[in-house]
Structure 1
Amino acid sequence: MKTATIAQLKKELQFRSEDELLQLCLRLARFKKENKELLTYLLFEADHEAGYIESVKAEVDEQFSIINTNSYFYIKKSVRKILRTLKKFIRYSGNKETEIELLLYFCQKLKDFQPSIQRNITLMNLYERQLNYIEKKIKALHEDLQYDFGLLLDELKN
């Protein structure tokens, strides 16, 4: 089966009734957890971005608290999983300020994590990559936000 393009899907959806669209959305949500999560964000949390950010931060806190600290192998696996989950939540939002705020929070949690990531090259590289990524993203924002986020970024770099 060949997958249709976004333009083709959009064109076809314009000809569907409201009831048919509702049924299509519900059927989509039934099949994949990510579809359900995105629909939940769009319907309930898109209007309350600050609350969404706080709920994602709480999720990150919870995931950091359950990391197995017996070896750096488990720490690396867990940190990568947290970052993957965080990127998924960022993708749902699509808001640049939200993305930067959540990544800065992740980096802060990683920096404060015990045992220290300083003793593991892989974790330090991951941390540095995220800081560089954040720095690039900050440049695309409004000047006031650039300054505010820049201060937070400088704290993490030191």
Structure 2
Amino acid sequence: MKIATLGEVRKELKTLESDELLELCLKLARYKKENKELLNYLLFEAHDESSFVANIKDEMYEGFENMNTGNLYLAKKTIRKILRLTKKYIKYSGNKQTTIELLIFFCQQLRQRCNIKESKVLVNMYDRQLLIIDKALGSLHEDLQYDYEEALNELRKFRSSIDHF
């Protein structure tokens, strides 16, 4: 089966009536949980990005709170789960500022809640998030860049202190 291009899908959607579009959207939402979550974001949360970010931060905070710090394997597993959920929400938003805020929060929580010096995997995960933040920061307006640069520099200082051990 040949899949239509996005342009072809767009043309076809323009020819449909509003009731038919509604049915297609509902069918997509029923088909897969991720589609329903994206539709939920677009309909109810996209208009208020700051509360969306605050809700995600709360969810991340709870994940870090409930993390089993006694067992490094289970802690890494929980951290990966938190990061996977965070990246899913970042994908829904598509906003660079949201990306930076959530990843900075993730790195701060990781630094505070876990001794990442014990695990090369966690250090590498931390480094990757710093690179993603840095890349997203380059595409923001200069005023916003300055606001986030302080937090990023603090995260970098912590990272450089890890190398000294």
Give the shorter-chain TM-score range: over 0.9
100-109 or 66-75, which deviates more: 66-75
2:45 partner letter: E
Q: CA deviation at 1:107?
A: 0.5
SS at structure 1 position matched to 2:144: helix
TM-superposed deviation, 1:21: 0.1
> Does structure 1 residue 49 correspond to structure 2 residue 63?
no
In structure 2, C-alpha distance between the alignment counterparts of 1:44 and 1:103, rounded to whole Å: 23
**Which residue number in structure 2 is paired with residue 73 of structure 1?**
73
Q: Deviation per CA, 1:83-133: give whole Å up to 9, x if none.
A: 11101000111111011111101011001014x111111101110111122
Secondary structure at the aligned position of 1:2 is classed as coil
What is aligned with 1:144?
Answer: 143
> Which amino acid in structure 2 is aligned with residue 65 of structure 1?
E
- 1:23 aligned onto 2:12: no
Secondary structure of 2:90's counterpart equals helix
Against the structure 1 CA distance between its residues 2 and 111, is the aligned structure 2 distance closer, same or farther, given a 3 Å change threshold? same
1:95-110 aligned within 5 A: 95-110=95-110
The AA in structure 2 aligned to 1:151 is E
SS of residue in 2 equivalent to 1:14: helix
CA RMSD of aligned residues (A): 1.0
2:91, 2:19 → 1: CA distance?
28
- Write the distance in 1 (CA, Å) between the matches of 2:117 and 2:31: 42
Unmatched runs of 5 consecutive residues or more in structure 2: 158-165
User: What amino acid does structure 2 have at the position aligned with 1:71?
Assistant: N
Greater CA deviation, 102-111 or 133-142?
Answer: 133-142
TM-superposition CA deviations, 1:9-47 (whole Å, max 9, x none): 111101100000000001100111111111111001111
- Distance (Å, rounded) in 2 between the aligned partners of 1:26 and 1:129: 37
Whole-Å separation in 1 of the counterparts to 2:112 and 2:12: 50
Matched, 1:13 2:10: no
The answer to whether 1:88 aligns with 2:84 is no
CA shift at 1:81, angstroms? 1.4
Q: Which amino acid aligns with 1:27?
A: K
Distance in 1 (alpha carbons) for counterparts of 2:102 and 2:41: 16
The residue number in structure 2 matching 1:155 is: 154
Q: Unpaired runs of 5+ in structure 1?
A: none
**Alpha-carbon distance in structure 2 between the residues aligned to 1:2 and 1:56:** 37
Identity of aligned residues (%): 52
Counterpart code for 1:108: Q
Q: Secondary structure at the match of 2:15?
A: coil
